């Protein structure tokens, strides 16, 4: 049996919108211009991530059903994304290191 290899489309490179993070992707279709990479996403508060994913799922379902709530849900999902983004901007990179480990890293001169 011949295996069919599915080609994944490649789009223009989009960088993670968190300052200091250098990750990027070519898997997101335009017009998307801002993305939060997986490792930054996991640093965001869980309740904000859950809120985003709950309404993102509702938006996907609404689009499939051609519902008239699509525009409203798009707005809610956009606001939820911005809340995650703001939370990450207030928490600079490296802030997720536990206090004891941070102290040890400082003693060793690594921080």
Chain contacts with Zn ion (rule: CB under 5 A):
16, 18, 21, 23, 37, 40
In angstroms, what is the minimal distance from the CB of 94 to Zn ion? Answer: 13
User: Measured from the CB atom, is 39 or 104 closer to Zn ion?
Assistant: 39
User: Measured from the CB atom, is 42 or 54 closer to Zn ion?
Assistant: 42
In angstroms, what is the minimal distance from the CB of 9 to Zn ion? Answer: 22
User: Measured from the CB atom, is 53 or 60 closer to Zn ion?
Assistant: 53
In angstroms, what is the minimal distance from the CB of 40 to Zn ion? Answer: 3
Integer Cα distance of 54 and 56 in angstroms = 6
Task: Output the DSSP codes for 30-59.
Answer: TT---B--HHHHTTS-HHHHHHHHHHHHHH
Whole-number Cα distances in Å, 50 to 35, 87, 102: 17, 14, 28
């Amino acid at each position: 049996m011949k295996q069919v290899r599915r080609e994944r489309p490649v789009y223009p490179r989009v960088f993670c919108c968190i300052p200091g993070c250098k990750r990027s992707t070519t898997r997101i279709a335009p017009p998307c211009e801002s993305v939060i990479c997986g490792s930054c996403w996991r640093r965001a508060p869980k309740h904000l991530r859950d809120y985003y994913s709950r309404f993102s799922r509702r938006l996907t379902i609404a689009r499939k059903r051609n519902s008239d709530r699509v525009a409203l849900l798009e707005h809610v999902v956009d606001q939820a994304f911005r809340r995650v983004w703001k939370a990450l901007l207030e928490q600079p990179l490296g802030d997720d290191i536990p206090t004891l480990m941070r102290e040890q890293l400082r003693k060793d001169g690594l921080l």
